[in-house]
Amino acid sequence: MLDIPVPNHPTTLADWLDHAERLHPQAIDMGLDRVQTVARRMGLTLNCPVITVAGTNGKGSTCALLESIYGESGYRTGVYSSPHLVDFEERCRIDGAPVAADELVPALAEVEVARRGQGGDAEISLTYFEFTTLAILRTIARAGVDVAILEVGLGGRLDAVNIIDADCAVITSIDLDHTALLGPDRESIGREKAGIMRTGRPVVVSDPAPPQSLLDHAREIDAVLWRVGADFHFAGDQQQWGWAMHPSRGGRRYSGLPYPALRGANQLLNAAGALAAIEALRARLPVTAQAVRTGLVLVNLPGRFQILPGNPTIVLDVAHNPHSVAALAENLDAMGFYPGTHAVFGAMADKDLAAMLARMAPLVDRWYLTDLPLPRAIGARALAELVAAMPGCADKVAGTYASPGDALAAAAAVADPADRILAFGSFYTVGGVLQNGLPKRVAKHLAT
């Protein structure tokens, strides 16, 4: 570990994370100047192709699909994604597995040295996200990976991940979320997401109807634009699907592809975008058709319409805005008949809760509302008032609970074996369920 010129410096991952949380007065402080300065002091570079993924929804799934296909091709992958569900180490994956806590500690120490400065450099305050992003990027760089896949945390243009120049940018769906920071409409948000593009380099846009601001920015900076429906296409039936590039892009085709192991109709769009990114970088990272097929079959990402076996059925989904909740509702409709649906729900207060609840209300018979361990979260009692005020829902509130685990236990205690239990609304809702609320049969399943 590096020597830090301060007494009593942290020695464990947990202590370093506590330290990072106390550094900056704001949890979110949009801007790149501070984090770029610290990265420059560190000499931080990634000496491999970099794919940066931004978007409102579908980022994590797209990263997982890229990781799985490249891994099946024999490449050593490094992935940065956030937030985590249970353990912080999930944010940094090397060769498909979370790094050990001890592997992150030296990098966190190096960030601290650079942040404090030497030889007259000014000390720089970093947010928790900025501090940990730099440490994870350093960890990926040291791992000697063949390809780095970086998920943007918030927006794009001013996100800490954007200090790294992407060799290929991927922009998934664009919808209303974090409007206080990114702007009040899709055009404003699209402009922020477009900030990950680079001149002369490919940008894959897998939103079928992207904001004009995003397309305009690609043309203004002369990025190489790949659009779904124009530059690449996909189609499928009940058994298989196919993907094809426009002849102007080379005309490569994949037919007879298996559906991605990630459930939900929206995952086909994410897979199509991932294949476009792979084709855009084919000259540097060749991939075989067999690796594509195997990668699609073996891809895994907890918390994305994850259906756990046993009775009652348990569905976990990190849907946390109206767009993703609408996709969740469609996927639930496609599951078939269940006598009852019990929903464990906790969310952030700054979300469009009315739209989320209205979309789910027809599908939910009983609501189990939970507190979440963040200042940004809305309390369970306030959630209960919102649910009860919806038409036909006055008697559907089962109770309010201190944690997602408590809420799940209450739902499991009354659910019929033929029912289903849904946990959604936030990464922290699903993470809280995974951490300490699952029945033994489910915990055993996840372990295997």
- The answer to whether 318 touches 303, Cβ cutoff 8 Å, is yes
Instruction: Out of 72-76, 95-99, 169-173, 180-184, pick the least confident.
Output: 180-184
Tokens 């100047």, located at residue: 33
What is the value of pTM for the model shown?
0.88
State yes or no: pLDDT of 431 exceeds 70: yes
Give CATH superfamily name and number for 306-447: Mur ligase, C-terminal domain (3.90.190.20)
- pLDDT above 80: residue 179: no
Q: How far apart are the C-alpha atoms of 295 and 150, rounded to whole Å?
A: 18
Domain boundaries, the chain: 13-298, 306-447
* pLDDT digit string, tens, across residues 303-351: 989 998 788 999 999 998 898 999 899 999 989 899 999 999 999 998 8
CATH topology assigned to domain 13-298: UDP-N-acetylmuramoyl-L-alanine:D-glutamate ligase (3.40.1190)
pLDDT digits (tens, 9 = 90+) for 226-261: 999 999 999 988 889 999 998 887 788 999 999 999
Residue 185 pLDDT exceeds 60:
yes
**pLDDT tens-digit profile of 373-385?**
988 899 999 999 9
